[in-house]
Every structure is written in structure tokens, then in C-alpha cells.
Structure 1
């Protein structure tokens, strides 16, 4: 299963790279096709990002349920093929509406994280799930780091070059999958597709009804919103508080991405082996809580930079939580579970930027009752603490 593993990890990395590849050129591209100022381009950039995240929220369960019914291989290959075509369309788009349509389709095709995670659940023994889910997180982290770097370099060849690169990567991924990807769904684990459950609400009801899962879903959601404080306000916070340059901000985000990839790709395996998933989650959330409190009041940029590896230690939480929920979910619903988690993560990507940026603006503005640019981290601290207390509550043991 070595090549199929590499293909699935590569698909997740391509998803992340595809998102990041186009970020450096988006402002210039929007001005190019729409005209107007950089300020108006920022508004359209927000619309494009929200459309992408909304499609992931809506279609994570759809693709997860489709993979339970028709197979992981089929869903992954079709998604990669459509993704390659979508990037070609965006590379030649001459209007903002075509770009919007491209991001909508891209959000659907990038919702395959649920299918990739379901594949990992299919081929992993119970004690291997946390480590293998961690590899998926590591692959996403590597893609998150490489994407913007490659996009910035390719922008030297024009605003369309990153789209062509993303199309080529997706096409190569499709060809590799066509050659090496087996089907892991069998007649025994296949579940008929049902539109009533192939939506966020229907899938959530079905998964939440499983014993012991509902509180873990809340923990996962609160954790996701809390942790999204970093991409939501980091650039604004570090500029306001420390006066960092764009290069320094980019470097710090790259360090964070590398740290997350290292933790999820390497540390998660020994952590869950020696501590168990429950204790690993408690320690991970504890590291995040301490980091949030410190960042709320820090005034020294060097200390903030040194704190990044500590914050990255909290990345053990997601794969350990996924493993706990996966073990408590029947084989026929693994895709559905991962679809729900994809939707919850996408919902956090919609909510967190809106809330965190408004909290930042309120406490960093001239009329702020208390000047505290780190206030969003205090909010994240509160949400993470609620999640930890909910996790610590007694509940039925998960097999």
C-alpha cells in the first residue's frame, strides 16, 4: 500500500498547494480582470475566499457519502480531474465572475480531504489511525508552506502562471492515482448513497447519534475555531504589535506550518503510543491555552517568534480526535464522519475570520476601551478552555 499512501498524501498536499499557489497573485489578478483599486480587490478577494470555504462546508459530506457508496478511488480521481480543468479555466478567465465560478468549483473539488481521511481509516489498524491521520495533516502543512512560496516565485512569469502550475500538479496527481490507487470499499462496507444524509445537517445528525461522538464533535469545532485565530489575524496582529515586515510575517507563518507538519507527521505517533490519545489531546489543548494567554499580552516580537514551536505542539489534537471518533464509527460510515469533520472545519474557516478580525479591530482601534491587539487570542483561550472542559467531562468509553 506504499504507493496508494503516497498518492493520497500527495492529493492532500496538492489541495493545500493549490490554495496557496494563487494567494500571492490574487490582488493583482483581480485588479487585472476587474479594474478598480486594491481596496475593491480586497473585497472581491474576501468573496472568493468565502465562496471557496462555503463549498467545502457544503460538499465535504457529499463527497464523503459518495465515497462510502461508490468508492474512495472514484471520488479522488474525478475530483483531481475536475480540479485540473478548473485551474485551466481560471488561468484563462477574463472576468471576475469566471474567477468566482472557478473558486466555487475549486471549493467542491478540494473537499476531498474527507475522502482521503476515509481511505486512511479503511487501511489503518485501530492503533495506527492517529498516526496516519497525522500524516494527512503533515501533508497539508507541507502544501500550505510550499504553495505560497511557489506561487510567489511563479508570479515572476505573470499572474496566470500559478494556475497553470496548479493544473499540471492536479493532472499529474490524477495520472498517478489512475495507475496506483486501489479501491478500499468492499461490498461489506459499501453504504447506499442517500441525499438526506449527504448534506451537513443530515450527516451531522447521523454521526452525532453514535455513542460518545456528539461531545467530541463539539470539542473538534471549538478547537478548529480557536486555532484559526492564527491565519485570521496573525498578519494584522504582528504588524500592529511588533511592526513586522511582510517578509517577517511570511517567515513566521512558514515556521508555524513547518512546525505543524513536523508534529503531525512525526510527534503524533510516539505521543499516542506512550500517552494514549486522551492524554495527548489534553496536553495539546493545554499547550494551545498557554500560548493564547501569552500571545494576548506579549509586546516582544522575538519572544513571539520563539513561542511558535510551542504553539505547533497543539497540532497533535486534530489527528488524535479524528482517531477517537473513527474508532467509534462503523466502517460503512467512515466517509460520512470525515465529511462532517471537513464541514465543521470549513465552518470554522468562515466564522473565525469574521469574529477574530472584528475583535482585533475593536481593541486595536483608536477608540478602543482598552488597547489590546492580542484580544482575539483571549477569545481563542476562552473557546479552547470550554473545549477542554467539555472533553474532560465523563462520557461513554470509545472502543
Structure 2
């Protein structure tokens, strides 16, 4: 493995405030790893797969869940109270009551991402001081608790609390990446990170189908139909807790841990300060020209993901309202999108030479424009499918390629910092995008929202085209 590959392998850990001591010590790299450590990567894979299958189950269920609370929340509950607060503006715009679920869904989606944006670096910092395994178990217990609340959430307020707990606890993903980095050698690190990628692909392909299947099976069985998929997600989460507790070994020895948790958390805060993020101020060893290029790419990525995540989040509501998609149909929609992305990344993007990353990113940014315009204008399944196909192809191209472009900047011992800032910008975009798009969807409708978003996506495309023209 060359030096660049080694630098890239620490990006995910640094992105969440986790130390990179394993990569800074030449002696630790030269020492042979214990044979038992090779199994840790597969343990992380199984843990992540259980978590992601449970996590993605809710994706196709959001419209139906919020419609359920709109009809069944108690008269003095949170949903009617929120609905009352927006009633005046709703009357002025003539927005149907059923679109209120889009607005509430957007707030929930943004809240979940914002909590991840805040919590992941802090959780990573705590693990630097106390070890990976105990912090991982705490995260998984928190995730399981969120599913308990979801299963018991007869009222909308309980469901909101469940999402808050789930968002705070989602630092297990960054910890999984750190564990893989801890136990890998230069020869095995790439394969370990690739296995993590496989867990994500499988989770996002299979999870929504499982959730939709359970919702379809249980919808006519009971008034609180969501209890069945929530209970299944809880079962997966409990299995994950027991599996990690019983089998996962601690990968950060006490001798390598940070002496003070305060010092570790101070480092993590650098990934939360918004002004510093956009300026890439934490990157010290870099020429002015390269820092300006980094900032330009950061702006491109944030604008793209801000618009993209907003449109992505409202997709299930659009298919639910405009095409009357059931949860099962939405599950299969996510399956096809995920499969297309996996095939594109596995057979095309993964094999791209370095000099084609810029042009591929530009093409990917261009394709997302007609994708959202087609989905926004779609009045028949054919145009919808065409837009979703472009959406999947573009998604598979943009993020991995622009990440590779960014990874070129910074000195060898600051590449992790560069990527940490870059990932934090993405998390912030995903925290803001859904709520803005949902407000637009709620107030002016799906077609104007998607057309406006598609046109605004020409901005990051033009910015990147100017940069590399």
C-alpha cells in the first residue's frame, strides 16, 4: 500500500474526532499484528450490518408513520399542537393537511443529522480516552433504547424522543471505522475499509425492503402497525449489543489512549465550529493556493449536498402523495436505487484513474440536474424511473470522486484533518437540507420544489467546471 492509500485510510476516523496515533507511529506500523486481530474486521462488519439493517428499515415508512400520527395522535398531543402553530400560514398558502407530514418529517430528518453532526466527533473523542468497546456498547444501547421508544410511541412526542436518542447514539459508525483502522496493517487496511463499505451497501439495499415488507404484512393486523417493524429493528439492535459485548475485543490499548478526555474533546470541537469548518482553519501545513482550492471544493460539496439531501429526503413523500406508493413499493424503489449505485461504484467508479476524478465529478454533478427536474415533472412512472436512474448514477459518482479530489490536499500528517472537516461539512449540509426542502415542499408543492432544486444544482456544477476548466 502506498503512502496516499495509507493517508486515506485514516480519514474516516479523523472525520469524527478520533485520534490517528496508529498512523503517526512508524513503530506501530512495522510490528506484526496479532492473528486474532484479523477477525475484528469481520466482527465490525457483522455489527454494522445488524445496525444498518435496523436503521434503514424506517426509510420507506416515514410517510405512513407521520400520516398515522396525523390521524391518531391525542387531541392534546405534540402533532396537533404543532399543526395548530402552522395553521395560519397553511391557510394563506392553501397547503393540504396531508402535506404537514412532509414538514414534520423534514424537521425530524434534519434534527437526526444535526445530532449526529454534534455527537459523532464528541463520541470519537471520548473513545480516545476510554477505549472503543465501552463507548461502542453505550452507543448501541442508546440505539436499542430508541427502538424501544419507537415501538411504544403511541403518541408523536414519544416518536420524536426516540429519534433524538437515536441521533445522539449514532456515533457507532465512526467508532467502527476507528476499530478497523486500529487493527489493520498497511496491507489489510484497504480491504477492511472496503468491507465496511459492503456493510453499508447491503444495509441500504436490504433494510428498506425488510421494513416495507413488515409494514405491508402488519398494516391490517393492528392500529399501531409500526410496532412490528420497530420490534424487529429492536431485535436486531439487541443482537448487536450482545454480539459486541461478547465477541468484540478492545482495539485501543490503555497505553495509546489520550491522557485527558478534555484534551480529546477539545480536538473534536474543531469539527463543530461552522465558521472554522468552511475556512479549513484547522489545516495549518498548507500553501495559500491549496487552502483556497480546499475552500472552493468545500463550498461546492456543501451546496451540492445541502440541495441533494433535501430532495433525497422528500422523495418518499413525493412518491407517496403523487404516485400513491405503498411502503412496499418504496422499499423496492430504495432497493433498485441502492443496487444501481453499488454496481456503478463496484464496476466503474472504483476503477477510475486519478486523472479522471475531476471530469467524473463534473459529469455526476451535471446528471443530478435532469434527475431532479425529471422527478419533479413526472406524471407517469416512466419519467419518474428515468429521473431515479439518473439520481442513482449521479450519487454513485459525485461523493467518492470529489472526496478523492479533496484528499490530495494537505501534508501527510494533516490529510485526516482535511477529510474530517470535509465530512463535517457534509454532515452539516444533511442537517440543514431536509428541513429547508420540506418547508418548500409543504408551502409550494413538490413540482416547484424539485424544479427549483434542480436549477440551483447548476451552481455547484458550474463552480467545479470553472475550477477544473
1:88 corresponds to 2:168? no
Which residue number corresponds to residue 116 of structure 2? 56
| Alpha carbons 2:132, 2:250 under 8 Å: kept | yes
Displacement of 1:257 = 1.8
Does the 8 A contact of 1:138 with 1:260 survive in 2?
A: no
Q: How does 1:203-222 map to 2 (within 5 A)?
A: 204=277, 207-209=282-284, 211=286, 214-215=294-295, 217-222=298-303
Secondary structure of 1:228's counterpart equals helix
Alpha-carbon shift at residue 160 of structure 1 (Å): 1.4
CA RMSD, Structure 1 to Structure 2 (Å): 4.2
Offset of 1:104 from its aligned partner? Answer: 0.8
> Pick from 456, 464, 468: which aligns with 1:379?
456
Does structure 2 conserve the Cα–Cα contact (< 8 Å) formed by 1:296 and 1:372?
no
Partners of 1:220 and 1:77 in 2: CA distance:
33
The residue aligned with 1:20 is 56
Task: Name 2:237's counterpart in structure 1.
Answer: 170
Corresponding residue SS for 2:273: helix
Relative distance call for 1:60 and 1:98 in structure 2 (3 A) is same
CA distance in 2, matches of 1:189, 1:333: 21
TM-score (norm 1): 0.75
Once residues 414 and 393 of structure 2 are traced to their aligned partners in structure 1, the CA distance between those partners, rounded to angstroms, is: 32
Paired position in structure 2 for 1:397: none
The residue number in structure 1 matching 2:44 is 8
Q: What secondary structure does 1:139 align onto? A: helix
CA deviation map 1:224-278 (0-9, x unaligned): 32432541344566789xx64415665443321222234445655433xxx13x6
How far apart, CA to CA, are the structure 2 residues paired with 1:76 and 1:153?
Answer: 30
The corresponding residue for 1:279 is 356
Q: Indicate if the aligned counterparts of 2:212 and 2:330 stay in contact, CA closer than 8 A.
A: no
Alignment partners' CA distance in 2, 1:184 and 1:340: 25
Is the partner of 1:196 in helix, strand or coil?
helix
**Secondary structure, in 3 states, of the residue corresponding to 1:110?**
coil
**Is residue 385 of structure 2 the alignment partner of residue 305 of structure 1?**
yes
DSSP-derived class of the 1:161 partner:
helix
Q: Distance in 2 between matches of 1:54 and 1:185?
A: 28
- TM-score after normalising by structure 2: 0.65
Aligned length: 381
The residue aligned with 1:246 is 325
> 1: distance between equivalents of 2:38 and 2:203?
20
The Cα of 1:330 is off from its aligned counterpart by: 7.4
Q: 1:67 to 1:206 in 2, by over 3 A?
A: farther
**Matches of residues 121-132 of structure 1 in structure 2 within 5 Å?**
121-123=181-183
Q: What per-residue deviation string (whole Å, max 9, x for no partner) do you get for residues 164-191 of structure 1?
A: 2111111211222234433343567644
Is 1:135–1:264's contact at 8 Å kept on the other side of the alignment?
Answer: no
Equivalent residues of 1:77, 1:174 under 8 A apart:
yes
Q: Which runs of 5+ in 2 are unaligned?
A: 1-36, 81-96
Note if contact 1:137-1:261 (Cα within 8 Å) is conserved in structure 2. Answer: no
- For the residues of structure 1 that align with 2:194 and 2:361, how far apart are their CA atoms? 13
Query: Structure 2 matches for 1:189-228, cutoff 5 A?
Result: 190-191=257-258, 192-193=260-261, 194=263, 195-199=265-269, 200-201=272-273, 204=277, 207-209=282-284, 211=286, 214-215=294-295, 217-228=298-309
Gaps of 5+ in 1: 394-399
2:162 aligned counterpart, secondary structure: helix
Task: Give the Cα–Cα distance (whole angstroms) in 2 for the partners of residues 119 and 326 of structure 1.
Answer: 24
Q: Relative to structure 1, is the Cα distance of residues 270 and 305 closer, same or farther in structure 2, using a 3 angstrom cutoff?
A: same
